[in-house]
Amino acid sequence: MARVDTPATRSDEGDEDGAHTAGDGGGDKPRWRDRVGRWRRGWVVAGLALALALIMMLHSRIPNQIGNLGSLLQTFLPWLGFAIPLLAGCAALRRSATAVIAVLVPSLVWLNLFGGLLVDKTGGGGALMVVSHNVDADNTDPAATAAELAASGADLIALQELPQNERETYEEGLAETYPHHSVEGTVGLWSRYPLSDTAPVDIGMGWTRAMRTTVAGPQGEIAAYVAHLPSVRVQFRAGFTAGQRDGAADLLGQAIADEPVARAILLGDLNGTMNDGALAPLTSQLRSTQGAAGAGFGFSWPAGFPMARIDQILIRDLEPVSSWTLPATGSDHLPVAARVDF
């Protein structure tokens, strides 16, 4: 039976395909507006994402003149990455294509800065194992801490924040495994190998918190430095109080630059991360074992919930093989360990 089109029939068909409806232009116009809206929405989220990317890209140029803001940012720089999924969630809620694309920018910047640390670069072997640990002056069980460190298997153990009244406890706990040791002020080094030419290093504190000694290693001499740089604090009026630490880093860096022994190692609590430009006197001439041979960020402080890698093992003319943190002791810092080759 032949079909006869009527105005009502044509109207129904137009409604079905959305292309011929009258009035406001039909169903095509709302869909077009939605597509355009996805690009027009989310400009605030996009702006925040680009600002985050800019801060991470230019972190080394943020000045320290006002409250050491640059050093404070660089200390916790990896944690800025947590803002990226938050911004991505906001972009999704806004259904904004512009914001989604903008969030990709800080993601790529963060991966460029820290993606290498997410790769496991630890290797096997290593002629020398070293450990550095801020044992904490308020450690309630130094004997247990000494026993745990002695069981680590390290060839060298550097300790910082040694309290005078507990020095004997550490000496007794480490004596059987480490026949050679030297203590200067509140820092010390215990070794399986003979030590010589030990002397304090002046880092401008008025008392000894750094030392230098020569280790007769299995394949030659190593100049070993143990240091505990001044503490830093975040204060409302003063900002990030890193001025004294920065001055100490300058003095320690000069001592290492003048070091005649080619192979050198620095073990200590530097109260700063490798991202902190204020530690350039050290990082410009020494290599981080964690960055070169670690797996992850190796955060060491505070022990309960590590947020920053401020305990460092830095080397010169030695080859990093592996780097990691040891289990918590009675200290508020985690011990850090590394294996190196000659």
* 134 and 99 belong to one structural domain: no
Q: How far apart are CA 163 and CA 12, in angstroms?
A: 90
Buried b (16+ CB within 10 A) or exposed e, 88-109: bebbeebebbbbbebbebbbeb
Residues 225 and 285 in one domain: yes
Please tell me the pTM assigned to this model.
0.86
Looking at the predicted structure, is the pLDDT value of residue 23 above 50?
Answer: no
Residue 29: pLDDT band with limits 50, 70, 90: low
196 and 240 share one domain: yes
Could you tell me if residue 100 is inside a domain? yes
The answer to whether residues 111 and 142 belong to one domain is no
Assigned domain for 228 exists: yes
Query: 41 with 272: CB under 8 angstroms?
Result: no
265 plus 331 within the same structural domain: yes
Asked whether residue 49 is assigned to any structural domain, the reply reads yes
- Whether residue 19 is predicted with pLDDT greater than 60 in this model: the reply is no
Same domain, 111 and 143: no
Confidence of residue 241 (pLDDT cuts 50, 70, 90): confident
Within-domain flag for 35: no
Domain boundary pick from 100, 118, 136: 118
Domain end, chosen from 90, 118, 146, is at: 118
| pLDDT surpassing 60 at residue 50 | yes
* Domain shared by 265 and 324, yes or no: yes
Residue 229 belongs to a domain? yes
Q: List, for residues 293-318, the tens digit of each pLDDT value.
A: 999 999 999 999 999 999 999 999 99
Domain annotation covers residue 8: no
Using CA atoms, how far apart are residues 289 and 63, in angstroms rounded to an integer? 27
The pLDDT of residue 7 is above 90: no
Q: Does one domain contain both 246 and 282?
A: yes
Residue 272 domain flag: yes
Q: Give the lowest-confidence range in 2-11, 31-40, 142-151, 241-250.
A: 2-11
Domain termination residue (choose one: 96, 118, 140): 118
For residue 30, is pLDDT > 80? no
The answer to whether residues 107 and 167 belong to one domain is no
**Which CATH number fits the domain that encloses residue 160?**
3.60.10.10
**Mean pLDDT computed over every residue of the chain:** 91
Cα(246)–Cα(277) distance, rounded to whole angstroms?
A: 10
Upper half-sphere CA count for residue 275 (Cβ side, 13 Å): 24
Q: Does the pLDDT at position 17 exceed 60?
A: no
Considering the domain architecture, whether residues 67 and 214 belong to the same structural domain is answered as no
- Tell me if 28 is assigned to some domain: no
Nearest CA to 186 out of 169, 156, 215, 166 is that of 166
Residue 140 has, within 13 A of its CA and on its CB side, a CA count of: 0
How many domains does the chain fold into?
A: 2
Question: pLDDT at position 92, please?
Answer: 94
Q: Give me the domain span that covers residue 45.
A: 41-118
Q: Is the same domain home to 105 and 144?
A: no
Residues 187 and 81 in one domain: no
